[in-house]
A and B are shown apart, each in its own frame.
Chain A
Amino acid sequence: MLIKTGPSIASSEITSESVYLKRRQFMAGAAGVAGVAAFGQARAAQNPLKYRAASLDHSAYYTAEKLTPESDVTSYCNFYEFGNDKGDPLKNSGDFKAKPWSVTIDGDVAKPGTYNLEDILAPQALEERIYRLRCVEAWSMVVPWVGFSLADLLKRFEPSGSAKYVEFTTLEDKAQFPAQGSFSSGIDWPYREGLRLDEAMHPLTLLAVGLYGKELPAQNGAPLRLIVPWKYGFKSIKSIVRIRLTSKKPATTWNMLAADEYGFYANVNPQVSHPRWSQASERRLPSSLWSPNRIETKMFNGYQDEVADLYTGMNLRRNF
Chain B
Amino acid sequence: MQKRKRLWQLGLFIICLAPFTYLVRRIVANDLGPDPGQFVVVWLGWSALSMLFVTLSSAQVSRWRPLSPLKKHRRLLGLTTFFYACCHMLAMWAFILGRDIQALVVEIVERPYITAGLAVVILLTPLALTSNQYSMRKLGRRWKTLHLLVYPAGALALVHYAWQLRGDWLLLGIFILWFALLLLFKFVNKRNGR
List residues of A whose CB falls within 8 A of some B CB.
68-69, 72, 75-76, 80, 84, 86-87, 139, 182, 184-187, 257, 273, 276-278, 283, 285-292, 294
CA distance A210 to B65 in the complex (A): 61
A75/B33 in contact, CB under 8 A: yes
B98/A184 in contact, CB under 8 A: no
Instruction: Find chain A residues with CB under 8 A from B37 CB.
Output: 283, 287, 289, 292
Which of B1-9, B104-112, B132-140 is the interface stretch? B104-112
Q: Residue of B at shortest CB range from A183?
A: B170
A276/B113 in contact, CB under 8 A: yes
CA distance A244 to B36 in the complex (A): 39
Quick check: is B40 within 8 A (CB to CB) of the other chain?
yes
Give the number of chain B interface residues (Cβ < 8 Å). Answer: 28
Candidates A69, A257, A283; contact of B35 at CB < 8 Å? A283
Known: A276-B113, A292-B95. A286 touches B167 (CB 8 A): no
Q: Residue of A at shortest CB range from B107?
A: A278
B113/A289 in contact, CB under 8 A: no
Q: Residue of B at shortest CB range from A186?
A: B167
Instruction: Find chain B residues with CB under 8 A from A87 CB.
Output: 33
List residues of B whose CB falls within 8 A of some A CB.
27, 32-38, 40, 94-98, 106-107, 110-113, 163-164, 166-170, 173
CA distance A252 to B122 in the complex (A): 40
B111/A84 in contact, CB under 8 A: no
CA distance A283 to B92 in the complex (A): 13
Please indicate which of the listed interface residues B32, B37, B167, B170 has the most CB atoms of chain A within 10 Å of its own CB: B167
B167/A187 in contact, CB under 8 A: yes
B167/A287 in contact, CB under 8 A: no
Candidates B27, B112, B168; contact of A84 at CB < 8 Å? B168
A292/B169 in contact, CB under 8 A: no
Instruction: Find chain B residues with CB under 8 A from A187 CB.
Output: 167
Q: Residue of B at shortest CB range from A285?
A: B34
B173/A289 in contact, CB under 8 A: no
Q: Residue of A at shortest CB range from B91?
A: A289
A292/B98 in contact, CB under 8 A: yes
B86 to chain A, nearest CB (A): 17
Instruction: Find chain A residues with CB under 8 A from B35 CB.
Output: 76, 86, 139, 283, 285-287
Instruction: Find chain B residues with CB under 8 A from A291 CB.
Output: 98
CA distance A289 to B37 in the complex (A): 5
B106/A278 in contact, CB under 8 A: yes
CA distance A285 to B35 in the complex (A): 6
CA distance A182 to B170 in the complex (A): 9
B33/A184 in contact, CB under 8 A: no
Instruction: Find chain A residues with CB under 8 A from B173 CB.
Output: 184
Known: A72-B34, A87-B33, A285-B34. A184 touches B169 (CB 8 A): yes
A288/B36 in contact, CB under 8 A: yes
A186/B106 in contact, CB under 8 A: no
Q: Residue of B at shortest CB range from A258?
A: B166
Instruction: Find chain A residues with CB under 8 A from B95 CB.
Output: 289-290, 292
CA distance A76 to B95 in the complex (A): 18
CA distance A277 to B114 in the complex (A): 9
Known: A276-B111, A278-B110, A289-B37. A186 touches B168 (CB 8 A): yes
CA distance A139 to B35 in the complex (A): 9
A79 to chain B, nearest CB (A): 12
Known: A184-B173, A273-B110. A257 touches B167 (CB 8 A): yes
Instruction: Find chain B residues with CB under 8 A from A290 CB.
Output: 95
Known: A292-B95, A292-B96, A294-B98. A277 touches B111 (CB 8 A): yes
CA distance A277 to B163 in the complex (A): 11
Candidates A68, A84, A273, A276; contact of B34 at CB < 8 Å? A68
B40/A289 in contact, CB under 8 A: yes
Instruction: Find chain B residues with CB under 8 A from A185 CB.
Output: 167-168
